[in-house]
Amino acid sequence: TVMQVSVINTVDTSHEDMIHDAQMDYYGTRLATCSSDRTVKIFDVRNGGQILVADLRGHEGPVWQVAWAHPMYGNILASCSYDRKVIVWKEENGSWDKMYEYTGHESSMNSVCWGPYDFGLILACGSSDGAISLLTFTGEQQWDVKKISNAHTIGCNAVSWAPAVVPGSLVDQPSGQKPNYVKRFVSGGCDNLVKLWKEEDGQWKEDQKLEAHSDWVRDVGWAPSIGLPTSTIASCSQDGRVFIWTCEDPTGNTWTPKLLHKFVDVVWHVSWSITGNILAVSGGDNKVTLWKESMDGQWACISDVSKGQGAVSSITDTQQSEQ
């Protein structure tokens, strides 16, 4: 595959310490960044620009992740920090303010992820105290909190929602009928496990426990639905391995791991392209690689990305077979 990765904008964030996350909003017009300098910044990056829109201060520790809510709920950004807090920021009349501050955990908040907009405004957050919270906006500044204790012993590192799919049916619902979505998300933690969670009767239950990693699971990413009945999850770990988990079983019970690659260093982050066919893998050696599944189901590295610039991949297929 001929593949081009070229920098179209480099944003100097002026953060005073390490940046831990950077996320574009839904339309790709704004960039939110967060840093160990305890701040969250929002830049307008349209047309290659970089105008600082907001400098959000409120966290008392390094801010690990930011997540944009679906724009139908307004301009809303969630951030999570080592200070054990999750803050939901909202833009009203051009200025950003705290909409909600959640302090229900005893340790670092490592990951935040908004659910598909079909589910309403719902935020999953994973903590180093091992628990996962689900915060649902119920209106009138009210948030409903559900907590899964001991989701991952000594810490949950990542959460990622499943796309909104009606179980067992890929055809559209009879019109006017509210689809009966099953809410699901995946989490990864310091117990080396990938876990799937499912809401049943308003309660969150562990649905699956996926074991393949031999060290902390650093990140998980549920691939966007591309209309196929297959569900796909990527997980990456301190052990350098990236697994692609697939489930073709409509009941969602049988998940098969496939080793994408074993890297030498820790793999911190995985991110699916919006169309779900490319996976960006960020490793501890400051390398970003892009992976694509070929027609025969094999994953191949299609590009090495350094400082935003793509290069021909140095990862060969032979390395890939090692388990």
Q: Among residue numbers 247 through 286, which ones bind another protein (CB under 8 A)?
A: 268-269, 271-278, 280-284, 286
In angstroms, what is the C-alpha Rg of the chain? Answer: 19
Q: Does 179 bind another protein (CB under 8 A)?
A: yes
CB 170 within 8 A of CB 227: yes
Question: Scanning residues 72 to 91, which ones bind another protein (CB under 8 A)?
Answer: 72-75, 82, 84, 91
Q: Find the binder of another protein among 79, 192, 208, 235 (CB under 8 A).
A: 192
Q: How far is CA 256 from CA 82, 177, 189, 231, 273, in A?
A: 34, 34, 19, 11, 21
Give the residues across from 293 on adjacent strands. Answer: 299
DSSP sequence for 250-304: TTS---EEEEEEE-SS-EEEEEE-TTSSEEEEEETTS-EEEEEE-TTS-EEEEEE
Among positions 108-137, residues that touch another protein (CB under 8 A) are 108, 110, 117-118, 120-121, 127-131, 137
The b/e string for 46-68 (b: 16+ C-beta within 10 A; e otherwise) is: eeeeeeebbebebbeebbbbbbb
CA 284 centroid distance within chain: 18
Q: List the interface residues with another protein, window 152-171 (CB under 8 A).
A: 152-155, 157, 163-165, 170
Nearer of residues 126 and 245 to another protein, judged by Cβ: 126
Which residues are within 8 A (CB) of 318 and not within 5 positions of it... i.e. 6 or more apart? none
For residue 312, the minimal CB distance to another protein (Å) is: 14
Interface positions, 215-234, toward another protein (CB under 8 A): 215-216, 218, 224-228
Nearer to another protein, 30 or 261 (CB): 30
> Residues 86, 101: contact at Cβ < 8 Å?
yes
The one among 290, 293, 299, 315 contacting another protein by CB under 8 A: 290
Instruction: For residue 202, state whether it binds another protein (rule: CB under 8 A).
Output: no
Residue 180 found at the interface with another protein (CB under 8 A): no
By CB under 8 A, name the one of 17, 55, 101, 206 that touches another protein: 17
Q: Tell me which H or E stretch contains 154.
A: none
> According to the binding rule CB under 8 A, does residue 104 interact with another protein?
no
Stretch that binds another protein, among 40-48, 243-251, 253-261, 312-320 (CB under 8 A): 40-48
**Within 13 A of 62's CA, how many CA atoms are on the CB side?**
13
How many residues lie near another protein (CB under 8 A)? 125
Q: Which stretch binds another protein (CB under 8 A): 17-25, 96-104, 246-254, 315-323?
A: 17-25
* Min dist. Cβ of residue 272 to another protein (A): 6
Please identify, using beta-carbon distances, which residue of 164 and 182 lies nearer to another protein. Answer: 164
Which burial class, exposed, middle or buried, applies to 85 when counting CB atoms under 10 A from its CB (0-12, 13-18, 19+)? buried
Q: Considering the complex, what minimum distance in angstroms separates the CB of residue 66 from another protein?
A: 10
